[in-house]
Amino acid sequence: MVRDACKDDFKILCDIENKCFIHPFNEEQMRYEMFSNPVSQYLVFELNGVVIGFIDYWVTFDSSTITQIAVLPLYRRHGFAQELLSEAMKDCKAKKAMTMTLEVRKSNVAAISLYHKNGFKLITTKPHYYTDGEDALYMVKEL
Ligand SMILES: CC(C)(COP(=O)(O)OP(=O)(O)OC[C@H]1O[C@@H](n2cnc3c(N)ncnc32)[C@H](O)[C@@H]1OP(=O)(O)O)[C@@H](O)C(=O)NCCC(=O)NCCS
């Protein structure tokens, strides 16, 4: 099931972050995102009482942005990211956001496929967007 993240999820979300990203947010960045950033919202996917994935997004006036989505490797390809994304889109729409944007690594086939499937359109490529020099695809969906 998808639910709002709570304070007790902090450690497990840091762990998922570390296991899912090549350049993960450190604990300080995660702490800011979870507890201080006023526009940031976290949803988690809980399976049999265990958190196995999350999505982080920002809602700012009439637009929203996905900053992170991750599911632990063992639990991938079961539709859990899809459920997280669907709930996030529903929430953003309810908060009157009209668009949802994101950047994704050009090489991230799984995430790009997830976004295409959900109606995100490629707007442009941002060259050398990531610190390791990889390009980002900038994608947008009308909500
Ligand atoms: C991207 C990610 C979140 C997908 O999680 P998931 O739970 O496995 O995704 P789902 O099972 O919900 O799949 C939904 C859709 O995503 C796409 N998809 C997911 N994994 C895929 C893969 N390995 N190859 C191709 N498409 C894939 C498919 O379109 C899939 O729909 P389908 O099952 O009908 O084909 C997961 O691979 C992940 O955590 N990756 C590491 C973190 C990351 O890169 N996040 C994105 C940052 S922008």
Paired tokens of 133: 């020099």
Does residue 138 fall inside a structural domain? no
113 CA to centre of ligand 1 in angstroms: 7
Each residue's pLDDT expressed in tens, for the chain with a length of 143 residues: 999 999 999 999 999 999 999 899 999 999 999 999 999 999 999 999 999 999 999 999 999 999 999 999 999 999 999 999 999 999 999 999 999 999 999 999 999 999 999 999 999 999 999 999 999 999 999 99
Q: Does the predicted TM-score (pTM) go above 0.85?
A: yes
Greatest alpha-carbon span in the chain: 41
The enclosing domain of 83 has a CATH number of: 3.40.630.30
Does residue 118 fall inside a structural domain? no
Please state, in angstroms and rounded to a whole number, the distance separating the CA atoms of residues 122 and 71.
23
How many structural domains is the chain composed of? Answer: 1
Please tell me if the CB atom of residue 113 comes closer than 6 angstroms to any atom of ligand 1.
yes
Contacts of 30 (CB under 8 A, 6+ apart): 10, 13, 14, 17
Does residue 121 fall inside a structural domain? no
Which domain, by its residues, includes 69? 2-101
Atom of ligand 1 nearest to the CA of 114: 16
Please state, in angstroms and rounded to a whole number, the distance separating the CA atoms of residues 81 and 75.
10
pLDDT per position as a tens digit, 75-91: 999 999 999 999 999 99
Does residue 125 fall inside a structural domain? no
Does residue 140 fall inside a structural domain? no
pLDDT per position as a tens digit, 51-69: 999 999 999 999 999 999 9
